[in-house]
Structure 1
Amino acid sequence: MNENKKNLVDGNEAPTSGDAVDIVAKGLMSSETNFLQLIDEVTKIYNEIVEIYQTAERNKKICEDILNRVQLAEASVRNLKDRKEFFTEENYIKLYRLVNIIRKMRQFLVEITQLKGLKKYIHSKAIQEIFNNLINEFEATIRILQVSLVLESTTSAEELTLSTVCAGREAASKVERPFSDFLKLIEDVTKLYNEIVEIYQTAEYNKRICEAMVNRIKIADTALKNLRIRNLDFFSKKNYDNFSNLVIVIKNIRQFLKKITKSSGFEKLTGASSINENFSNLIDEFESTIKPLQFSLIIYFNPDDYKKVKTDVKDLTAEEWIKKKMKEEDIKYFEYSEFNKLKKIGEGGFGVVYKAETNDNKQVALKGLIDKKSSNIEENVIASFVKELKNLRKVDHHDNIISFLGISKDDIGYIMVLKYANGGNLRDYLKIKFCSLQWKNMIQMALDITCGLKCLHSNDIIHRDLHSKNILVNDGKLLIADFGLSKRLTEVTSNSKSNNIGIIEYVEPQCLRSVNSAQSFYIKDKRSDVYSLGVLLWEITSGHPPFHNIELEERRQLGYHISCSELREVPIKGTPLEYQQLYKKCWDGDPKKRPNIDEVYNEIYKFNANVTNEQQEDSLATSISDSLNSLNKQSGQSFLCIESSIVCNQGKSITDKSLN
């Protein structure tokens, strides 16, 4: 393979001048294989441009514009593989030029979509000028190929009959319907596609459902435009009827999308189940009408669309649930204008948390969907939001669960209004207050968390993300918060790719191993929460998060050591043995050996009862001692003698704090 041919296959830059391109192309054109390499190169570059678009940090719209053009070209060029008559030297030069300009487009997008490459373009005018030049060059190249590819035709419907397209072929006698009839249907599909694109661009709701429909119809529209290069057998009465049915289905899709993407139409719907049903029916109709045409049209569908749409239907169910509950006054609604003095106090899961004051000077916490400075909103976030909201409503009556007050809405989306915890989160609280804590305080804190988790588990709610930043403190009482946020286990992706390094310390080994070995995600259950609870029980006695003093390089391997080397924190000196044994059982590497939450609660309750009894005994001893001291003074009896007797009868004494 000569050097120029190697550059083509490797995807390196080719000569840019027209004459140079033609010279190189003539040198390469020697066989059908070279033609196929060019066609494959177009597909390869198109896929690279798709990836560039998906990861673009800047200039997304320019990227999309170029992507759409290249997509249409690629769909048409791909159909050339079976057209041996196209493989001439003249057409090879034309196709080579197309590949060259598409390569230049790809390189341009690489530079303008990432901040690093964008620096070379000082002014936006430079980007616009290069973009215009590339588009002009692309369209000029496409026009040259147009006769062969039949991407577009300026021939009128009256002139463009099938016999014109396939002049000289005896096969023309097979035609059952004139091409002008098919052309009318093609124009209908294109018109409907453009209308659906406009609906998608202005959609207020159900964007993902709309996108899935757009993608299907776009591929069908592109393929239909290429019918002029298809087999004559396609133009039969049967296919015309199938084609007509397809147009009817696409019209129904357009009407459906109009209803579900605007608030006026949205309110007419009776429920998410009806939308799901309508969507499924339309997809089935579309697939069934496309199937008879599929061999001729060469249409490919992405199976992931179903997953995306399923997510969007869940979002719809979630939003309907919120509206229904507010309408029934089952959930209190707060006008967003009621809140003032907003201050960001935390961030995690899918949302940002703000402290705010109501008009009557009550402090609340507002948990929104995203930071207002961000432009990134996941489509399925409302479903997760509502999942936590539903869970909260089941358990917020409990003293150790954060209280849910109601719902509000800003320009971003729905906001949960929660009780404000004046002591912050447990991690920060321990940093400030640990030195003043006594053993009785620590046991009470352990009991608070255990009681809250017991309530969750009794309602079949699994927290899945239990750590000291998700435990809040209000007037010294601990409250569990943020359950329902991290259901997809994104908190345990590799440390080098995640900002959630602190979470690793609370995640059970089985979950870490499944991620590290690239297996399917481990499904957390109640035993996963018990593992995290064990780490929290240790943290309460230490005053700091686990493995806080490990160097960064070692921390990168922390997940591995926890999951594969049974690495755990060392008990704090002075911790009662029974308490140590309890949290060690909780963080056992074998989930089957961990106690359930009721068993943990019983143990913690006993510890707390013992501390309370000992305090009461000490208090009683002090009271009796004071009384006897008073009697001694009255009777003249030796105080030392009586005090000694009391201590012997008491049998033991404890210090308020048994931890150093």
Structure 2
Amino acid sequence: MVYGICEECKQENTWNKWCNTCNAKRFQQNFKNWSSGNDDIDKFIQHTQLSANYYRKVLEWIPYDRFYNIEYIAKGGFGKVYRANWIDGFIWDWDNKNKNWGRRYPNRDVALKSLNNSKNVTLEFINEITSHHKINDNVSIIRLYGITQDPDTKNYMMVLNYAENGSLRNYLDDCYNDLSWKEKIENLHDIADGLDQIHANELIHRDLHIGNILHTHEFTFSNVCITDMGLCKPADYIATESTKNSTYGVLPYIAPEILRGQNYTKAADIYSFALKICQGVRPRFDIKVPQLFVHLIKRCLDANQLNRPTASEVLNILKKWWIELRKAEEIEETELLKQIKEADKINNNNIQINIPSTCLSYETHSEAIYTSRLLNFNNLPEPKNSDDYYKQYDNIISTEYSENLQIDISQLKINDDQNDESKSEKSF
């Protein structure tokens, strides 16, 4: 009896102050008092409420008039994002005294994500909220609270936790030089934790890039989390011939086998994750990083997807490193601690010998694009690891381009219809 006994039905609670049996009845009694106007959405929300074994698994239909201070943020490849204040806050538990739902964080900031033409509810919209709900109980996935509808456009909108620090790219732009190795590893651990949860639910993200990683706060602690499940698909999804030849994404983050028309696998997500390791620990060529990091990056970027580690393996490696750094003063010096000490010494010497500070800064190029776009391709060569590159730059991995795939960029036909909007840092 970890969570105690329900005061009403005397059965075991499924969470602290949460009884699935009793709460399901309360939700069901309220079904007649709300509707999204769409049967599929209604049924999905009702299902989440009836099956919820604790608060994070509950989705709500939230009337649009429960939001205020609605402000446009950005436009991405599939819709728009707004910031707003939610009057009520999310359901936390049942208040037996007042016979109503107890709620947390009234008037908090939330993000409203509108999908283009979602007034005619598409399978894509249902798939996104379904995929998101499966992993909604992990703090390394941006929290989904429910669904609402814009009364003007009639487009349906996802109501999500608002990331006040923006994307990981924004956060690193502002804070990289102040981050400790422990904080860098902790950020990477959070991403790996979210990705492991996605893969454990037999899903593949398929669009993992730095614009889809957000830095936010959940209750009293901050963390890095994954967002945008718009392209997420089951692990056993087989693309049609037409979709194989049309790939959405941010080019540097797409695994080489995907550009050649192969089906997405979990290993393709691992390839994308490797680029975030690069950007999280070494934003410029001039920065020395521990060889253990370089080894992990090389494994994740391997041209042969079968040689890449799983998300679970990456998570365990990062967890081990984080524990070593957290207990650095209590344990014998490990190989990681030795390599970090060596890297810091070299980097500090570089600063002292007057290497221009811009070499060690973290800045976003004005033309960098971190929003998913349609990429058409044909007749690309088979990917291979560039051994010469690794021999020459044993400690350096490029953040902008992978040496795993030798291709002529002119072979790619990139859909630039949304080129102006796609340079937004607050992509989703």
Under a length normalisation based on structure 1, what TM-score does the superposition of the two structures give? Answer: 0.37
| 1:367 equivalent among 113, 117, 120 | 113
The alignment partner of 2:210 has SS state of: coil
Distance in 2, matches of 1:379 and 1:485, equals 19
> Matched residues in 1 for 2:107 and 2:245: separation?
40
Are 1:347 and 2:66 matched, yes or no? Answer: no
Contact 1:350 1:381 in 2 (8 A): no
Tell me the equivalent position of 2:25: none
* Shift of residue 324, structure 1, vs aligned partner: 1.4
Partner of 1:592: 306
How far apart are the structure 2 equivalents of 1:653 and 1:543?
A: 18
Gap change, CA 1:456 and 1:471, over 3 Å in 2 = same
Offset, 1:485: 3.0
> 1-side partners of 2:245 and 2:111: how far apart?
27
Please name the residue that 2:200 is paired with.
Answer: 458
- Alignment partners' CA distance in 2, 1:319 and 1:505: 38
Match of 2:263 in 1: 523
Q: CA deviation at 1:406?
A: 1.0
Sort the Cα spacing of 1:363 and 1:455 in 2 relative to 1 into closer, same or farther, 3 A.
Answer: same
CA contact (8 A) 2:214 2:227 kept: yes
The alpha carbon displacement at 1:347 in A equals 3.0
Contact 1:454 1:597 in 2 (8 A): yes
Distance in 2, matches of 1:512 and 1:652, equals 39
> Any conservation in 2 of the 1:400–1:479 contact (CA below 8 Å)?
yes
How far does the alpha carbon of each residue in 1:596-623 deviate from its partner, in whole angstroms, 9 at most, with x for none?
Answer: 11111121122112211214459xxxxx
Q: Kindly indicate whether the alpha-carbon contact (under 8 Å) linking 2:118 and 2:125 is maintained by their aligned counterparts in 1.
A: no
Equivalent pairs counted in the alignment come to 267
Cα 1:533/1:326, change in 2 over 3 Å: closer
Alignment match, 2:290 = 576
Please give the alpha-carbon distance, in whole angstroms, between the structure 2 residues aligned to 1:350 and 1:326. Answer: 22
> Using a 3 Å threshold, how does the CA distance of structure 1 residues 594 and 653 change in structure 2: closer, same or farther?
closer
Find the counterpart in structure 2 of residue 321 from structure 1.
40
Ranges in structure 2 where 5+ consecutive residues have no aligned partner: 1-36, 50-58, 88-105, 234-238, 348-428
Pairwise mapping of residues 175-574 of structure 1 onto structure 2 (< 5 A)?
A: 320-327=39-46, 330=49, 331-359=59-87, 360-370=106-116, 377=117, 382-411=122-151, 412-475=154-217, 476-485=222-231, 503-514=250-261, 522-543=262-283, 573-574=287-288
Report the Cα distance in structure 2 between the residues aligned to 1:657 and 1:437, rounded to whole angstroms. 15
Residue 574 (structure 1) shift = 2.2
* Contact kept? 1:356, 1:364, Cα under 8 Å: yes
Distance in 1 between residues matched to 2:44 and 2:184, nearest whole Å: 40
**Distance change >3 Å, CA 339–CA 578, structure 1 → 2:** same
- Alpha-carbon offset, residue 345 of structure 1: 2.3
The answer as to 2:313 corresponding to 1:607 is: no
Secondary structure of residue in 2 paired with 1:614? coil
Q: Distance in 2 between matches of 1:429 and 1:492?
A: 34
Distance 2:120 2:245 in 1: 20
Render the CA deviation track for 1:577-596: whole Å, top value 9, x for unaligned.
Answer: 11110011001111111111
Deviation at 1:395, TM superposition (A): 1.1
8 Å Cα contact 1:349/1:485 also seen in 2: no
Amino acid at match of 2:230: G
Measured in 2, the distance between the counterparts of 1:340 and 1:348 equals: 23
**Over residues 436-483 of structure 1, what are the superposed CA-to-partner deviations in whole Å (9 max), with x where a residue is unaligned?**
111111111111100110011001111000000000101341011002
Query: Deviation string for 1:121-179 (max 9, x for gaps)?
Result: xxxxxxxxxxxxxxxxxxxxxxxxxxxxxxxxxxxxxxxxxxxxxxxxxxxxxxxxxxx
Q: What corresponds to 2:28 in structure 1? A: none
Report the structure, 1 or 2, having the larger strand content: 2
* 1:180-227 residue CA offsets vs partner (Å, 9 max, x unmatched): xxxxxxxxxxxxxxxxxxxxxxxxxxxxxxxxxxxxxxxxxxxxxxxx
Find the aligned partners of 2:340 and 2:48 in 1 and give their Cα distance. 53
How far the C-alpha of 1:381 sits from its partner, in A, is: 6.2
**8 Å contact kept, 1:402–1:418:** yes
1:79-90 alignment, distance < 5 Å:
none
What is the deviation of 1:399?
1.4
Q: Which has the higher helix share?
A: 1
Q: Structure 1 counterpart of 2:254, which letter?
A: V
SS across alignment from 1:368 = strand
Distance (whole Å) between structure 2 residues aligned to residue 380 and residue 588 of structure 1? 42
| 8 Å Cα contact 2:290-2:340 kept in structure 1 | no
Q: Rg bigger for which structure?
A: 1
Question: Deviation of residue 379 (structure 1)?
Answer: 9.2
Secondary structure of 2:230's match? coil
Cα drift, residue 418 of structure 1: 0.8
* Displacement of 1:433: 0.9
Structure number with the bigger relative contact order (C-alpha 8 A, sep ≥ 6) is 2
C-alpha displacement of 1:541: 1.3
1:365: Cα distance to partner? 0.7
For 2:168 and 2:214, the matched residues in 1 are separated by 6
Instruction: Quote the offset at 1:350 in angstroms.
Output: 2.0
Residues 333, 416 of structure 1: CA spacing in aligned structure 2 closer, same or farther, 3 A cutoff? same
Say whether the 8 Å CA contact 1:404–1:419 is kept in structure 2: yes
Contact 1:491/1:504 (8 A) holds in 2: no
Could you tell me how far apart the structure 1 residues matched to 2:43 and 2:329 are?
A: 51
For 2:204 and 2:111, the matched residues in 1 are separated by: 23
What is the rounded CA distance, in whole Å, between the counterparts of 1:610 and 1:342 in structure 2? 44
Partner Cα distance (2:342, 2:160) in 1: 35
Find the residue that maps to 1:401 and give its secondary structure: coil
Residue 477 of structure 1 aligns with an amino acid whose one-letter code is N
Instruction: Give the letter for the 1:343 counterpart.
Output: E
The answer as to whether partners of 1:349 and 1:486 remain within 8 angstroms in 2 is no
Cα deviation per residue 1:299-331 (whole Å; 9 max; x = unaligned)? xxxxxxxxxxxxxxxxxxx95331213456723
RMSD: 3.3
CA distance 1:573–1:657, change in 2 (3 Å): closer
For the 8 Å contact 2:67–2:86, the answer to whether it is kept is yes
The normalised TM-score by structure 2 is 0.56
Cα distance in structure 1, aligned partners of 2:155 and 2:325:
48
